[in-house]
């Protein structure tokens, strides 16, 4: 092995410079990206220690080769039961480090190329799940307004549905991100430090005003705090949503047995906007998508829109009569 690749100090220096210089200074990535890359290296170094019998302080760059990375990715899926999407996210972090190594350490170019040659794994994308309007309305009124938690959770659910925000965007909302007077809106801090402003419906403004008056929050405070005044966490939001679904199910049996996550409400917002005739480019801006192409998945999920499209090109003698596709055709459309 080339001496440079066998030197633990060189590997440690490269990892440190990758985080301190490449990510923070040169690319200025968000804290969430740094945390995701940190967690990837924590898992990778732990796996390498078990496989090679070396503590992280003794690992050399030559030890972290393509064979080790492939074993690490298999470990994530088989033993940690990560999804393919999570596996690919970990690989993306390792690839970013390999590209940095290729530039900073020419003797390691072949090692880096072999790691970069590891492909992302393909996976099936299920149809997007979403709620009907009746299901949403039942869910929004499920929290008990007589309690502190219930008042906050009503605002939480109303904002999720109104804005289609990601959980990270939702829990990052501060009181001074709100504009409730002239043109009601909220400023969301999205992925990649991008910000966007989303209009608020009258129902949402009413709930927010009630909550602000009740909770007496300051402008620099989180709009949705926990009992200790800190911003809610992702798991906290998921747990409160699960409680709301349980409370709403007796009044809306169609919710029984459904897996409803905060992202389900994001999909629901997009679907309802689409069904209301809102243009895809506007929905993409509403949701903070990098490209309208991402938003096309909602068209794929709406079978009713496909049915109307078929009816529009039906023979003249059948127009004006509701088109009823066969079961075989419905299955075909769902598979598209």
96-146, pLDDT tens digit by residue? 999 999 999 999 999 999 999 999 998 776 556 789 999 999 999 999 999
Give, for 187, the enclosing helix (H) or strand (E). Answer: strand 185-189
DSSP annotation of 77 reads: H
Q: Which two tokens stand for residue 119?
A: 């492909």
Rounded average pLDDT over 146-153: 95
DSSP annotation of 283 reads: H
- From the list 90, 152, 266, 267, the catalytic residue is 266
Rounded average pLDDT over 52-76: 96
Give the tens place of pLDDT for each residue, 283-301.
888 888 766 655 655 555 5
Cα angle vertex 16, ends 10, 18, to 5°? 100
Q: Answer yes or no: is pLDDT of 187 > 80.
A: yes
pLDDT band at 304 (very low <50, low <70, confident <90, very high): low
Residue 95 falls in the annotated catalytic set:
no
- In this predicted structure, what is the pLDDT of residue 282? 83
Q: Answer yes or no: is pLDDT of 1 > 90.
A: no
The string of DSSP codes covering 216-236 is T--TTSBSSB-TTSSBPPHHH
Given a contact cutoff of 8 angstroms between Cβ atoms, the answer to whether 48 and 54 are in contact is: yes
What b-and-e string marks burial along 250-273, b requiring 16 or more CB atoms within 10 Å of the CB?
Answer: eebeebeeeebebebbbbbbbbbb
- In this predicted structure, what is the pLDDT of residue 318? 45
- From the list 37, 47, 100, 298, the catalytic residue is 298
Rounded to two decimals, the pTM is 0.68
Residue 289 falls in the annotated catalytic set:
yes
pLDDT band at 336 (very low <50, low <70, confident <90, very high): very low
Q: State the Cα–Cα distance between residues 118 and 32, nearest whole angstrom.
A: 25
pLDDT band at 13 (very low <50, low <70, confident <90, very high): very high
- From the list 191, 196, 209, 210, the catalytic residue is 191
Given a contact cutoff of 8 angstroms between Cβ atoms, the answer to whether 140 and 248 are in contact is: no
Residue 155's alpha-carbon distances to 78, 79, 139, 166, 211, in angstroms, are 39, 39, 12, 15, 7
- From the list 166, 174, 240, 272, the catalytic residue is 166
Given a contact cutoff of 8 angstroms between Cβ atoms, the answer to whether 98 and 109 are in contact is: no
Q: Is the dihedral of CA 87, 92, 97, 102 positive or negative?
A: positive
Cα angle vertex 128, ends 269, 74, to 5°? 130
* Count of helix runs (H) and strand runs (E) in the chain: 15, 3
Rounded average pLDDT over 255-263: 90
| 3-class secondary-structure state, position 82 | coil
Rounded average pLDDT over 196-220: 93
Which segment of 71-75, 219-223, 282-286 scores lowest on mean pLDDT? 282-286
Rounded average pLDDT over 77-94: 95
Q: Which two tokens stand for residue 282?
A: 């506007």
Given a contact cutoff of 8 angstroms between Cβ atoms, the answer to whether 200 and 185 are in contact is: yes
- In this predicted structure, what is the pLDDT of residue 118? 97
The string of DSSP codes covering 5-53 is GG-HHHHHHHHHHIIIIIIIIIS---HHHHHHHHHHHHHHHHHHHHHHS
- In this predicted structure, what is the pLDDT of residue 297? 58
- In this predicted structure, what is the pLDDT of residue 275? 82
């Amino acid at each position: 092995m080339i001496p440079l690749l066998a030197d633990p100090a060189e590997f440690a220096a490269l990892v440190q410079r990758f985080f301190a210089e490449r990510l923070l200074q040169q690319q200025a990535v968000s804290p969430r990206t740094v945390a995701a890359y940190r967690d990837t290296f924590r898992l990778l170094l732990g796996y390498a220690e078990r496989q090679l019998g070396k503590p992280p302080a003794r690992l050399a760059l030559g030890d972290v080769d393509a064979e080790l990375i492939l074993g690490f990715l298999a470990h994530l899926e088989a033993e940690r039961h990560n999804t393919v999407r999570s596996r690919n996210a970990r690989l993306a972090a390792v690839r970013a480090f390999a590209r940095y190594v290729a530039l900073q350490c020419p003797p390691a170019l072949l090692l880096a190329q072999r790691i970069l040659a590891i492909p992302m794994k393909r996976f099936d994308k299920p149809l997007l799940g979403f709620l009907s309007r009746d299901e949403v309305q039942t869910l929004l009124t499920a929290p008990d307004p007589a309690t502190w938690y219930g008042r906050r959770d009503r605002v939480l659910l109303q904002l999720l549905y109104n804005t289609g925000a990601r959980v990270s965007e939702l829990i990052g909302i501060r009181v001074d991100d709100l504009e409730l007077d002239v043109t009601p809106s909220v400023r969301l801090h999205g992925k990649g430090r991008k910000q966007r402003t989303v209009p608020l419906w009258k129902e949402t403004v009413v709930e927010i005003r009630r909550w602000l008056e009740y909770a007496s929050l300051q402008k620099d405070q989180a709009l949705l705090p926990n009992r200790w005044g800190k911003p809610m966490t992702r798991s906290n939001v998921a747990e409160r949503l699960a409680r709301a679904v349980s409370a709403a199910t007796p009044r809306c049996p169609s919710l029984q047995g459904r897996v409803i996550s905060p992202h389900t409400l994001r999909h629901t917002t997009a679907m309802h906007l689409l069904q209301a005739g809102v243009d895809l480019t506007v929905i993409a801006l509403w949701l903070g998508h990098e490209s309208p192409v991402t938003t096309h998945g909602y068209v794929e999920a709406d079978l009713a829109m496909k049915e109307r499209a078929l009816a529009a090109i039906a023979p003249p003698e059948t127009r004006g009569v509701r088109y009823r596709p066969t079961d075989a055709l419905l299955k075909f459309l769902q598979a598209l």
